[in-house]
Amino acid sequence: MTASLPSTSAPLAPFLPFSKPTIDEDTIAMVGEVLRSGWLTNGGPKVSLFEQQLSTYFGGRPVRCFNSGTCTMEIALRIAGIGPGDEVITTPISWVATANVILEVGATPVFADIDPVTRNIDLDKLEAAITPRTRAIIPVYLAGLPVDMDRLYAIAAKHGLRVVEDAAQAFGSTWNGQRIGAIGDMVSFSFQVNKNLTTGEGGCLVLNTQEEAVLAEKYRLQGVTRSGVDGIDVDVLGGKYNMTDIAAAIGLGQMKTIDAVTAHRESLAHHYFDCFGPDFEARTGARLPLPAFGTSNWHLFQIILPDTGPTARADFMRRLKDEHNVGSGFHYAAIHLFTMYRKLGFHEGMFPESERIGRLTVTLPLFYAMSSADVERVVGAVNAVLSTKLSTAVPAK
Ligand SMILES: *Cc1c(COP(=O)(O)O)cnc(C)c1O
C-alpha cells in the first residue's frame, strides 16, 4: 500500500478506464493476413469490402471510408460546396473537430446553445441563428443520442440547408426505428479508438448519390481520377485521407460484433440507472443522462455534477481516480471558449447552457468488456465521492 493512501482503505481494485476497445482474436488474425499479403493500403480489397458492408448496414446508401472522422466531415463540407462567405451552424458541446472543419474549408462557424436535457444543439436556437448566409448545419449526436431528426430536416428543408451529421458517436443509434446513417443527408462517423466501432483511427461518410461518392474518392486522395492503364488527371484539390487495408480489416472484425456491442452497452446503461436509483438526483444534486433506450447506442454515460465551484469537476475526477481507481473523462469543454475561438470574437456568456455543462459534465466508464459488477463499483465510487462536498480549491500535489 502506498503512503499516500489512508491507512484504513482496502487495496484498490484494478484501474477501470472510461473507455477501452475490444479487438477479438479473429480480427487480430485478419490484420495479420493483411500484413502478410503485402497489400497494406490504397486500393486494397479490405477497404472496398468494409465499404460494401457499411453500405448494406446503412440501407444500401453509398459509403466511403477515410482515415479520420475529422477529414470525413471536412470532405462532406467540400462536397456540399461550402467555403468562404458561408455560415455553418453547430453546437459548442462537441469535440473541437466539429468546429475546426468549418474553419478548414474557409467558412464561418456559428454556434447555437444546447438543450440542457438532451445536451445536444437546441433546435429552436439553431433556427434562430439562421441568416441569409447560412448554408449548412452540423448537428452532433452527443453520447449517441440523436437530435429530433424530423424537426432537424424540416428546418433544413424550409431554409434550403445542407446537413452534415456529426454521427461520430452514433454508430448503431436509431431514430424511429431507422438507423442513423440510413436516413438523412450526409452522415459522418468516426472509428477512432474510443468509438463503439473502431479501426484504430478512421471514419466513413454516408452519401446520397454516386456523383457524391466519386467526389469523395477524389477529395480523399489528392483529387486524382485514374483511367485506362496509365491515365491520370487531377481536377479538384484533394488531400491524403485514404483508409489503410490494415484499418479496414479491424473494421470488418468489429462489424461482426457491433449488434452485440450495442446491446451490451444498453444493458450496462440500464444497470447504471438501476444502481443510481430514482433518488440519485435529489440525493446528490447531480444529473443523469436522458434514459433514451431504444434510440441511443450508449456511446457515453455522462452525469452533470452539482455546481460547487470552478474546481468541482477536477476534484471529482481526481478523487474518483485516487480513492477508487476509477477513470473518467469530460466530453466536452465548450468550443467557443478556446483561445482560438475567442480570437474570432466568441466569449463567455454567449451560450450559458454549453458553458455550464462544459464545466460540469463527466463521462463514467462504459465499454463492451465491462461487467455489471464494474457498473456497481463505479456507482459506489460516485456515490462515495458525492456524499462529501466537492472541495472548491485544488490542493497542491
Ligand atoms: C471522435 C469525434 C470526432 C472526430 O473523429 P476523429 O476520428 O477523431 O477525427 C468528431 N466529433 C465527435 C463528436 C467525436 O466524438
Closest approach atom of ligand 1 to CA 72: 9
- Grid cell digits, residue 355: 458553458
Reply yes or no on whether the pLDDT at 280 is more than 80.
yes
Higher pLDDT, 296 or 6: 296
Please report the pLDDT score of residue 1 as a whole number: 42
**Residues 331, 187 within the same domain:** no
Q: Is the whole-model pTM more than 0.75?
A: yes
Over residues 174-200, the mean pLDDT reads 98
Over residues 264-293, the mean pLDDT reads 97
Q: Is the CB of 98 under 6 A from ligand 1?
A: yes
Reply yes or no on whether the pLDDT at 10 is more than 90.
no
The CATH number of the domain where 76 resides is what?
Answer: 3.40.640.10
Reply yes or no on whether the pLDDT at 292 is more than 90.
yes
d(CA 290, CA 302): 10
CB 114 within 8 A of CB 353: yes
Please report the pLDDT score of residue 42 as a whole number: 79
CB 19 within 8 A of CB 367: yes
Q: Is the CB of 91 under 6 A from ligand 1?
A: no
The count of domains in the chain is 2
Closest approach atom of ligand 1 to CA 97: 10
Please report the pLDDT score of residue 391 as a whole number: 59
**Residues 236, 108 within the same domain:** yes
Rounded distance from Cα 114 to ligand 1 centre (Å):
18
**Residues 234, 302 within the same domain:** no
**Residue 34 DSSP label:** H
**Residues 326, 182 within the same domain:** no
Closest approach atom of ligand 1 to CA 94: 13
Reply yes or no on whether the pLDDT at 267 is more than 60.
yes
Rounded distance from Cα 133 to ligand 1 centre (Å):
26
**Residues 122, 187 within the same domain:** yes
Reply yes or no on whether the pLDDT at 3 is more than 70.
no
Please report the pLDDT score of residue 392 as a whole number: 54
Pocket test for ligand 1, best of 65, 70, 102, 121 (most atoms within 8 A of CB): 70
Please report the pLDDT score of residue 2 as a whole number: 46
Strand partners, 234: 224
Mean pLDDT of the chain: 95
Tell me the pLDDT tens digit for each residue of 152-176. Answer: 999 999 999 999 999 999 999 999 9
Closest approach atom of ligand 1 to CA 332: 13
* Domain boundary residue, one of 255, 290, 310: 255
**Residues 141, 162 within the same domain:** yes
Higher pLDDT, 374 or 396: 374
Per-residue pLDDT band at 8 (split at 50, 70, 90) = low
Q: Is the CB of 358 under 6 A from ligand 1?
A: no
Contacts of 100 (CB under 8 A, 6+ apart): 70
Q: Is the CB of 141 under 6 A from ligand 1?
A: no
Within a domain: residue 303? yes
Higher pLDDT, 3 or 152: 152
Pocket test for ligand 1, best of 164, 166, 299, 363 (most atoms within 8 A of CB): 166
**Residues 50, 146 within the same domain:** yes
CB burial of residue 200 (10 Å; 0-12, 13-18, 19+): middle
Q: Is the CB of 296 under 6 A from ligand 1?
A: no
Tell me the pLDDT tens digit for each residue of 13-32. Answer: 999 999 999 999 999 999 99
Catalytic residue from among 125, 158, 195, 256 = 195
Please report the pLDDT score of residue 382 as a whole number: 98
Q: Is 195 a catalytic residue?
A: yes
Over residues 368-396, the mean pLDDT reads 86
Reply yes or no on whether the pLDDT at 48 is more than 80.
yes
Structural domain range at position 109: 25-255
The number of residues in the chain equals 397
The CATH number of the domain where 323 resides is what?
Answer: 3.90.1150.10
Please report the pLDDT score of residue 9 as a whole number: 59
